[in-house]
Amino acid sequence: MAATDIAEEAFHLRLGYLKPETVEIARVELRETEEVKAEAILKLRELLKATPELNYKDDDAFLTVFLRACHFYPEGALEKMKTTASFRKEYASLVRGLLVEQVKEKFVKGSVINVLKNCDQKGRRVLIVNCGKLWDPSDITSDEMFRMLYMVHLAAQLEEETQVRGVVCIMDFEGLSMKQVKALSPSFSKRLLTFIQEAMPLRMKEVHFVKQPFIFNMVWSLFKPFVKQKLNSRMHFHGSDMKSLQKFLDPSVLPANYKGTLPAIDYGGVEWFPALEQQAQYVAEWSQLGPAQW
């Protein structure tokens, strides 16, 4: 990976462009051409106007976020807007009015939610959720963890590269103990998986579970009932076998934490927060979107 790529990806959002090869991925995987895109935006705008129970922005860039997540089928994008609005209404206490400043203290304090400073070999952002010993639920509640995750997904939407290429998630359970298991309650599990599957206009390409001890079986028994077939096919369980993880994520893009060739992770929320803060206005706009009536 070129040093310029890492410099561009580390602690910055890649805004306002698609690389030529990404344009080709969009054409092949998402049916995206200028004509299809223009037509789909017009159609989705019409559909949105005819759906008074929804309240969303209707500029081209905003509609494109949902269209790319749904392969440029306007009806599918509208359905995703509806399920997103339903989710936001059900969990209004967590996401309505959510502002960047509200998560700052917890975000910069720990590394529960982190993002690799480099993309993977397919140009995808890699989110790391530390659910084991790095997470103290008495300091950062599961609700606060969720709000941070939600914030990161809003920022990720702004990267057109991410809209097209999708995201990868590493769930790291190293040092998992009963205090974390208790915090990963059935209600949290349901909310997290409903969000990922129904209310997140991003392409979740892979979810990797790593370093999970035996006690993880208790967590998985809570998650499993809410996992639909599509997501299930994208979930991979590696335990401590990093060679297994490296079948999906090349060693050249992984830090030493996962037996990769890059230095061990020595960064986290402190380094990433300024990139979030720069998008405070977008997050503030989103904070009231979704259902027309809460």
Q: How many CA atoms lie within 13 A of 107 on its CB side?
A: 23
- Do 136 and 25 sit in the same domain of this protein? no
Average pLDDT, the chain: 96
φ, ψ of residue 125 to 5 degrees: the values are: -70, 145
- Do 50 and 173 sit in the same domain of this protein? no
Note down the domain range covering 25: 18-95
| pLDDT of res. 6 | 65
pTM of the model: 0.95
- Do 29 and 167 sit in the same domain of this protein? no
Neighbouring CB atoms inside 10 A of 1's CB total 15
- Do 220 and 128 sit in the same domain of this protein? yes
Inside any domain, residue 34: yes
- Do 275 and 149 sit in the same domain of this protein? yes
- Do 229 and 173 sit in the same domain of this protein? yes
CA distance 170 to 10: 18
| pLDDT of res. 5 | 62
Neighbouring CB atoms inside 10 A of 73's CB total 17
- Do 116 and 259 sit in the same domain of this protein? yes
Does residue 243 carry a pLDDT above 70? yes
- Do 118 and 180 sit in the same domain of this protein? yes
Closest CA to 132 of 169, 179, 168: 179
**What would you report as the CA-atom Rg of the chain, rounded to the nearest whole angstrom?**
19
Does residue 161 carry a pLDDT above 80? yes
- Do 146 and 184 sit in the same domain of this protein? yes
Does residue 3 carry a pLDDT above 60? no
CA distance 195 to 75: 20
- Give the pLDDT confidence of 172-222 residue by residue, as tens digits: 999 999 999 999 999 999 999 999 999 999 999 999 999 999 999 999 999
pLDDT band, very low/low/confident/very high, at 65 (cuts 50, 70, 90): very high
CA distance 260 to 37: 39
Number of domains into which the chain is organized? 2
Does residue 132 carry a pLDDT above 60? yes
Inside any domain, residue 293: no
